[in-house]
Amino acid sequence: MPTTYQNPRYPFRRPKGLGALVPEAAPVVIAGAGVVGLTLALDLARRGIASVVVDEDDTVSYGSRAICWAKRTLEIFGRLGLGDRFLEKGITWSRGRVFFQENEAYGFDLLPEQGHEYPAFVNLQQYYAEAWLVEACEATGLVDLRWKTRVTAVAQQDSGALLSLTTPEGDYQIRAEWLLACDGARSTIRQGLDLPFNGQVFRDRFLIADVVMHAEFPSERWFWFDPPFHPGQSVLLHKQPDNVWRIDFQLGWDADPEVEKQPERVISRVKAMLEGASGMAAPPFELEWVSVYTFRCRRLEKFRHGRILFAGDSAHQVSPFGARGGNAGVQDADNLGWKLAAVLAGQAPEALLDSYDDERIPATDENILNSTRSTDFITPKNPAAQAYRDAVLQLASTHAFARPLVNSGRLSRPATLHASPLSTPGGSGLALGAPPPDAPVLNAGRAEWLLHHLGTDGDFTLLCFGAAPAEVPAGISVVLVTEDEQPGALWDHAGLVALRWGAAAGDALLLRPDQHLAARLHRPDAAALRAAHDRALGKP
């Protein structure tokens, strides 16, 4: 098949441990050099923590795979220094349209209110994200990327994990103090520990086709239920960079994956879809990548197993409608990175890592619930469910009340960590555990964004409105926000910081290194700040 992107090949480098009589020792080993593993490695490196990353391949992923990067994920990549690349290369979109049979049911707009650095979504093929992460990891000098290195066995130990590895030049072992399993849906680490997934596999199949073409379709998300060109099934269309279009076709459970991936069969489907969508002859196109997949909504019972922690698809799986897989994995990394760094630096007890389960399992359950509901709506399981879905779609074109009931994939939103044990109760305003709302500020007359000042040095941040406390414990950086221009302060010239954070003069908001809100305090003294800081670090 033709390709618009040439995958880089990364060299195999002979590791020092190869041929040694004793296992190599490493503080942190990350299994899997996909988006999640690389994000974790980069996050740890920016906090001064070295890691070894092993991957059985020697390149980035093929095909579009995860393509819809949500606003919160873009903010995380922005903190890691990659946000501008996503904006420059990616396709920004906010509008979507839903069709039922021959007619449009309704359209929607996800564009948030003005005053944010990043849009609701950016479409970008996963291989670009991974290649940029590889570059950034290598530039730190703290990430040892080991390609063509496959994990063959894992043994859990009280002091970490013993990994058996095979390479083109032989086998060796690494004894890791901490093992982060980011090795995907077929995780060797998970299988080696005999850890089952809980959840369900849906009896349906979907075809992904990445198509290269010059088409006049707008940069919107189009979803069809029961269209004339693919009767009884659904179709999704997304635009990507490089004139690549992602098309998802529902096939049904009885479809033969190998037959459906045959080029002539895929070309016929794509041609019918293009002609049906435009009412004109299909433009010339070529297939770049084809895959058939099955919906899965499931997770591990827990993500932490001693000194082995799971993130991304190795920990949980959801259907692709809603863009909840890749975005959730990046947010796993965002949650885990600062905690492990704090433990390794001696700033927090190992018990802090228990909060990874406390926070990310509810977030995963929320994603699974939304993904399951989307799947049930897209693929009705009985005549009653089919009748309900079709009635909702018919009503949506003329009755606004029906539109929220249409579910073609509830799009990814960041989790608010409502029940986090790291949060200090009290105060009012933005919910405890919430991710940070961005807003424009002026810094010595320069237009900047608030999030660029929160957690960028690896510390906790105390966001103070009007005045800062006289004494602030070590490990907390102070950011002052004022209603008028003052030296050393961020000027909330549009009033959006105070509005979005629900803050008033005298409020001090303690933010974790991942920028989530840990405490809401009013004119706090040093003792109150220290207590909130200790709690957010998991100290007894």
Tell me the mean pLDDT in the region 46-59.
97
Determine the angle formed by the axes of helices 126-140 and 35-46, rounding to 10 degrees. 30
* Number of helices followed by number of strands (H, E) in the chain: 12, 28
> Is residue 86 within 8 Å of residue 211, measured between CB atoms?
no
Tens digits of residue pLDDT in 325-367: 899 999 999 999 999 999 999 999 999 999 999 999 999 999 9
Residue 434, C-beta contacts closer than 8 angstroms, at least 6 positions apart: 416, 417, 516, 517
The top-scoring range by mean pLDDT among 34-38, 120-124, 196-200 is 34-38
Question: Please, which pLDDT band fits residue 3 given cuts at 50, 70 and 90?
Answer: low
Two tokens, residue 422: 């790291």
pLDDT digits (tens, 9 = 90+) for 464-486: 999 999 999 999 999 999 999 99
Supply φ then ψ for residue 454, to 5 degrees: -110, 115
Q: pLDDT category, 380, cuts 50, 70, 90? A: confident
pLDDT above 80 (res 62): yes
Q: Crossing angle, helix 325-344 and helix 71-79, to 10 degrees?
A: 40
Contacts for 256-260 with beta carbons within 8 Å, 24 or more apart?
257/205, 257/292, 260/205, 260/207, 260/292
Highest mean predicted confidence (pLDDT) among 119-123, 294-298, 501-505? 501-505
- pLDDT at position 1 is 41
Q: Is the pLDDT of residue 426 over 90?
A: yes
24-90+123-199+297-371 in CATH: which number?
Answer: 3.50.50.60
**Cα 293 to Cα 66, 76, 382, distances in angstroms:** 13, 28, 22
Q: 383 by DSSP, 3-state: which?
A: helix
Q: Which amino acid is at 277?
A: A
Average pLDDT value for the chain: 93
Kindly state the tokens that stand for 227. Answer: 């269209």
Res 297: pLDDT: 87
Query: 277-281, 327-331, 361-365, 425-429: which has the minimum mean pLDDT?
Result: 277-281
**pLDDT of residue 281 exceeding 90:** no
Say if CB 117 and CB 439 are below 8 A apart.
no
Residue-level pLDDT at 318? 87
Plot region of 81 (φ>0 → left; ψ -120 to 50 → alpha; else → beta)? left
Q: Report yes or no: 41 and 135 within 8 Å, Cβ to Cβ.
A: no
Residue 2 confidence (pLDDT) above 70: no
Q: Classify 177 as helix, strand or coil.
A: strand
DSSP type of residue 472: -
pLDDT at 322 over 80: no
- The answer to whether 234 touches 268, Cβ cutoff 8 Å, is no
Average pLDDT over residues 295-320: 93
Give me the percent of the chain exceeding a pLDDT of 90. Answer: 81
Say yes or no to pLDDT of 242 above 60: yes
In sequence order, the β-bridge partners of residue 517 are 511
Which residues lie across from 28 on neighbouring strands?
178
Residue the block writes with tokens 């005053």: 115
% of the chain exceeding 70 in pLDDT: 99
Residues of the chain with CATH 3.50.50.60: 24-90+123-199+297-371
Position 112 scores a pLDDT of 67
Q: What's the confidence (pLDDT) of residue 133?
A: 98
Instruction: Give the pLDDT mean for 304-329.
Output: 91
Closest CA to 426 of 355, 498, 536, 532: 532
Q: How far apart are CA 511 and CA 432, in angstroms?
A: 10
Where does CATH 3.40.30.20 sit in the chain?
Answer: 440-536
pLDDT(413) > 70: yes
Per-residue pLDDT averaged across 411-436, rounded? 93
pLDDT reading at 60 higher than 90: yes
Give residues with Cβ within 8 angstroms of 180, minimum separation 6: 28, 29, 30, 31, 37, 40, 51, 308, 309, 311, 336, 340
What size, in residues, is the chain? 540
User: How much is the average pLDDT of 182-200?
Assistant: 94
CATH fold, domain 440-536, is Glutaredoxin (3.40.30)
Whether pLDDT at 454 is above 80 = yes
